[in-house]
Amino acid sequence: MSKLFSPIALRGLTLRNRAVVAPMCQYSAIDGVANDWHFVHLGRFALGGFGLVMVEATGVVAEGRISYGDLGLWKDEQIAPLARIVDFLHSQETAVGIQLAHAGRKASTPVSWHSAEDLATQEGRQAVGYERWQPVAPSAESHDEQNADFQVPTALDAAGIAHVVNGFVAAARRAEKAGFDTVEIHAAHGYLLNQFLSPLSNHRTDEYGGSLENRMRLVLEVAEAVRAAWPQDKPLLARISVSDNAPGGWTPEDSVVLARELKARGVDAVDCSSGGFAQGRIASTAAYQVPFSKAVKQGADIPTMAVGLLGDVAAAEAILENGEADFIALARGALDDPNWAVHAARLLDGEYSLWPVQARRVDGRDKALGIRA
């Protein structure tokens, strides 16, 4: 059996394989509530054979959403629609997680395909759940002063920071009620927790700013609090930007230190991405972020998830065999081919058992066409 399709356990959760669908914002919710779009969008990946499907960045508080179209878990009414999705994925033997997020100063941004004309009337705004609000951040500085989509945020005070931590905890408890197998703390891509970590965005002079220890403080407080609230037999993940990809920013060496501290607080795996700040630049090429996953895995001795243009099946297998990551996560690649995992299983192992029983006639079709030996 290939490494990609060998089971792997994190705490009490055993995944049927190491192919993961990474969180992808759909900007299609109203008041944070999942709907039929989310059900179909996520359900197709379970039919496609993935071992773990992660639900998109989900606001732990209403003001923590990237846009008015984001999912949320800040109130109980948002639980049942997510539970429906979880139940279906479980029926297909796929594990399901949810990314808990706060956008910080990147909150309250537009949904790109809703034009000014769409939002010109009260009826149009109501149809898409349009809202606009004041973002918060570690420091009162815009994400990008040259981009009018980003507001100047309010700097969080002690009460605001406590509200953030409590929001993550309450959302984790709602995720448990919805039946999720894992939750992921989103500390990447220039959103709030990443903003506290990075010297590019954190210019505080209190205990949450300045030194690396201080800049890590909020992320670690959130990890401790969520771990205490989340069932002990269920794994806790964290996504980090391993590098800001910018001079004077957060570095892979900083990420190794952070990953060690997260591991000490009960985080079971680190999802290794990068970037998220206006100053950051990196060329996007096939598997371009795998070195970040390798650095964290080897430096912190913790399981890692590689992500970033990883659709080549042989390359994905080699990444796992070479010890550069423990999981292969696809986002746009999964959008392009929701059946990527079942196709990869055929290529690597000549295996068709991942197909739902209703679809296994694909085996006979492949034999007839000479695709399968």
Q: Which residues pair with 95 in a beta bridge?
A: 52
The answer to whether 128 and 89 are in contact (CB under 8 A) is no
Q: Is 68 considered catalytic here? A: no
Q: Write down the H helix ranges in 118-202.
A: 122-128, 158-178, 192-197
What's the CA gap between 27 and 34, in Å, rounded? 10
CA 61/CA 101 separation, integer angstroms: 9
**DSSP SS3 for 72:** strand
- Which is catalytic among the residues 27, 130, 191, 208? 191
**Could you give the 3-state DSSP secondary structure of residue 30?**
strand
C-beta separation of 229 from 265 below 8 A: no
Q: Calculate helix-pair angle for 252-264, 212-229, nearest 10 degrees.
A: 40
| Strand bridging mode 13-15 / 8-10 | antiparallel
Residue found under tokens 């913790």: 302
Q: CA 296 to CA 276: how far, in whole Å?
A: 18
Please give the positions annotated as active site: 191
